[in-house]
Amino acid sequence: MGGFFYFIFIIAGCGKMSSVPDGKKLVRSPSGLRMVPENGAFNSPFSLDEPQWVPDKECPSCMQCTKKFDFLTRKHHCRRCGRCFCDKCCSKKVTLPRMCFVDPVRQCGECSRVSQKEMEFYDKQLKVLMGGGTFIVTLGTSEKSETMMCRLSNNHRYLFLDGESHFEVELSRISSMQVLTEESTPEGGNCRASGMLLHYKPMGSQDPKQLRMEAAEDKKTASSWLAAMHKLCLYYICSLTGCQTAV
């Protein structure tokens, strides 16, 4: 028996770009080397701007343990929050993909914990989504369906669907997402994601359209892809509302 598992609203934006170039450039900032898009308009929606560092004159002591800075106790700025700490309170170097740093960067204890939680999203969910899944896709109320590969674009802004035809859906144009479920065993009791229902507004149109995706033969891969899509939506809402905390 099929069913509805959860319903998620995405705050609709007003994107103006369609095809997405992948050109990137290496830039050096006070915090380290960053690999960023050549055109800032194509940043990942999950990216964070580098913070303004608290001026040295405004932090005579560690902002966590309050130890005063001197010749022996050096001052360090957290690359994520911009506050200043002593070496003991800001000793961890953690990967920070949301700011596009090439190498792990120094972060305070609180920020390093958030960044480490986010790594699961980048290492697992985003890789699953960009790897793609095969679905039976139906547009609107049409009775005609098409088997298509659905994947997330490299800059995390679009869903690409490829089969005999090709089209893309910009995440900022999605107004709602509904995940469909089915029982995973004949005996029932356990449900897994089996499909997805999207409502979105195509570029240049204010009329919403419906997109239905149902798992093809590889239901296990499709279920993993749909679960990752759920996580993506939570992060996307977080990015639009200015949240910087891992979901």
Does residue 54 have a pLDDT over 80?
A: yes
- Dist. CA 153–CA 130, nearest whole Å: 6
For residues 10-35, average pLDDT? 64
Question: Tens of pLDDT along 172-220?
Answer: 888 888 888 876 655 555 677 888 898 898 887 788 899 999 998 888 8
Does residue 243 have a pLDDT over 90?
A: no
For residues 87-105, average pLDDT? 94
Sketch out the chain's domains with CATH numbers: 2-13+132-240 (2.30.29.160), 50-128 (3.30.40.10)
Flag whether the pTM goes above 0.95: no
For residues 14-25, average pLDDT? 53
For residues 58-82, average pLDDT? 95
Quickly count: other Cβ atoms within 10 Å of residue 97's Cβ. Answer: 18
Q: Between β-strands 191-200 and 174-183, what pairing exists: parallel, antiparallel or unpaired?
A: antiparallel
Residues 6+ apart with CB under 8 A from 100: 34, 35, 36, 47
- Dist. CA 134–CA 221, nearest whole Å: 8
User: What percent of the chain is predicted at pLDDT more than 70?
Assistant: 83
